[in-house]
């Protein structure tokens, strides 16, 4: 039981660090004008594609780590449910209408994270992709030959 709990916790930490590092690097590599639509904080199509890929890859990585530590696919299923539920809870505030803010010039990374306006559908898709990634990554515990 303890291995399962540690596997879920470490898997989640690895997912969070992976997402933070990759998003930060991508933000600096792409620049503010390729991350956002012109004069707004609406995220670009390129950034949306990146968010989808990072959610899935981060989930895979977290699932592999959880499976390696816990040696239990059940722990990975619990982890996937936690990823999905936490992600949906974080997405709920995005359902309300947010005022449009005009973007001008360069935007620091932390300000960009606070003001970014992804489409609502993406806010709910990402937790699902993260959970699917965890389940796919966790297959290692179910079938060591995978």
Q: Report pLDDT digits (tens) over 82-115.
A: 999 999 999 888 777 776 667 766 777 777 777 7
Q: Domain tally for the chain?
A: 1
pLDDT digits over 12-55, tens only?
999 999 999 999 999 889 988 888 888 888 889 999 999 999 99
Band (pLDDT 50/70/90 cuts) for residue 8 is very high
89 Cβ contact partners less than 8 Å away, ≥ 6 residues apart: none
- State the residue range of the domain holding 64: 2-142
Residue with the larger pLDDT of the pair 119 and 11: 11
pLDDT of residue 146: 46
């Amino acid at each position: 039981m303890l291995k399962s709990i540690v596997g879920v916790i470490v898997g989640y930490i690895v997912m969070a660090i992976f997402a933070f590092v990759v998003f930060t690097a991508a933000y600096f590599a792409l620049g503010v004008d390729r991350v956002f639509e012109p004069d707004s904080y609406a995220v670009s199509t390129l950034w949306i594609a990146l968010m989808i890929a990072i959610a899935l890859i981060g989930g895979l990585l977290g699932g592999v780590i959880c499976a390696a530590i816990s040696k239990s696919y059940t722990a990975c299923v619990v982890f996937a449910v936690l990823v999905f539920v936490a992600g949906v809870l974080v997405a709920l505030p995005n359902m309300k209408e947010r005022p449009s803010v005009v973007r001008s010039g360069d935007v620091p990374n932390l300000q960009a994270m606070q003001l970014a306006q992804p489409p609502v559908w993406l806010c709910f898709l990402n937790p699902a992709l993260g959970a699917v990634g965890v389940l796919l990554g966790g297959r290692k515990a179910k079938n060591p030959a995978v």
